[in-house]
């Protein structure tokens, strides 16, 4: 089964992104020939949802409750077999969507856009160091080198999204990578460029960073326990 952009939904949380959304949606349309479905889970008080609707996106309104609450709703919403997440701040290269789809068609379950290996010089320095530290910590806990655990641009087979219970908010991006990696799904990182943000960030680097660190530790611990208990049940199954 080879997927095309008719099988893809591009989803995002949107919170007062009037400065950026036009660029993001225009890029998606151009790259996918208007074939990808677009879903915006929106908590804005500005024109963002109007622009989204003008571009034919489905808008789900939601009180602003943080990144992960919006993105969880966004990834669960589409009825298409491939779901791509992005931010609505014009930082991620929509022109790389074909590469993400190609990797899914090669058989990967999750394809993650790694910003850090190419330097991510447009990222604020504090955030870059933090994101490198998260990737290193998550790699140690997961037992596999991961280059960028907090990226917003990924493609997922919808089955993976539906099979896992997602619990994190600011740390959802890390969770969306770590649980599939630790459950043995086929996960690939591909290097991407990262552009300067349009408009203001919603994430406070200190409190947001602390939340992400907590998510990584909690999620990795839960997944390790899950591995151990399924190992135990497999072992006892064999001995019966
Ligand atoms: N609906 C909704 N979207 C949000 C919320 N918080 C962040 N977002 C969106 O989630 C994406 C990531 O947030 P962003 O500010 O880019 O975080 P950063 O990349 O860490 O600077 C952006 O598209 C935001 O508009 C929220 O509370 N509700
Ligand atoms: Mg962003």
pLDDT digits (tens, 9 = 90+) for 206-239: 999 999 999 999 999 999 999 999 886 666 654 4
- Residue 236 lies inside a defined structural domain of this protein: no
- Residue 191 lies inside a defined structural domain of this protein: yes
Pairwise CA distance, residues 124 & 200, whole Å: 13
Write out pLDDT tens, residues 11-65. 999 999 999 999 999 999 999 999 999 999 999 999 999 999 999 999 999 999 9
Q: Which residues line ligand 1 (CB under 6 A)?
A: 12-15, 17, 41-43, 62, 64-67, 70, 87-89, 152, 201-203
Residue 225 in tokens: 């326990």
Ligand 1 atom 26: residue of nearest CA: 66
92: domain CATH number is 3.90.550.10
Domain housing 46: 5-230
Number of domains in the chain: 1
The pTM assigned to this predicted structure is 0.96
Q: How confident is the model at residue 240 (pLDDT cuts 50, 70, 90)?
A: very low
- Residue 238 lies inside a defined structural domain of this protein: no
- Residue 179 lies inside a defined structural domain of this protein: yes
**Phi, psi for 225 (deg, rounded to 5):** -60, -40
Half-sphere exposure at residue 68, Cβ-oriented, CA atoms within 13 angstroms: 17
Helices (H), the chain: 21-32, 48-54, 67-76, 97-105, 125-142, 158-163, 172-182, 205-239
- Residue 77 lies inside a defined structural domain of this protein: yes
């Amino acid at each position: 089964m080879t997927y095309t952009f008719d099988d893809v939904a591009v989803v995002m949380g949107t919170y007062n992104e009037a400065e950026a959304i036009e660029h993001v949606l225009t890029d998606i349309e151009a790259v996918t020939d208007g074939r990808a479905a677009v879903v915006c889970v929106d908590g804005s008080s500005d024109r963002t949802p109007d622009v989204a609707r003008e571009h034919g996106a489905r808008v789900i309104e939601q009180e602003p409750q943080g990144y992960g609450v919006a993105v969880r709703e966004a990834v669960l919403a589409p009825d298409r077999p491939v779901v791509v997440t992005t931010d609505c701040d014009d930082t991620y290269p929509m022109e790389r969507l074909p590469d993400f789809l190609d990797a899914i068609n090669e058989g990967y379950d999750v394809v993650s856009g790694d910003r850090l290996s190419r330097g991510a010089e447009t990222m604020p320095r504090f955030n870059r160091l933090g994101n490198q530290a998260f990737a290193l910590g998550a790699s140690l806990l997961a037992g596999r080198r991961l280059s960028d655990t907090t990226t917003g641009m990924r493609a997922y087979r919808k089955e993976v999204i539906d099979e896992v219970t997602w619990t994190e908010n600011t740390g959802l991006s890390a969770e969306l990578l770590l649980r599939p990696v630790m459950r043995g799904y086929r996960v690939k990182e591909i290097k991407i460029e990262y552009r300067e943000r349009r408009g203001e960030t919603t994430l406070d680097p200190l409190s947001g960073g602390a939340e992400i660190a907590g998510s990584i530790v909690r999620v990795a611990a839960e997944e390790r326990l899950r591995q151990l208990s399924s190992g135990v049940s497999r072992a006892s199954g064999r001995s019966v």
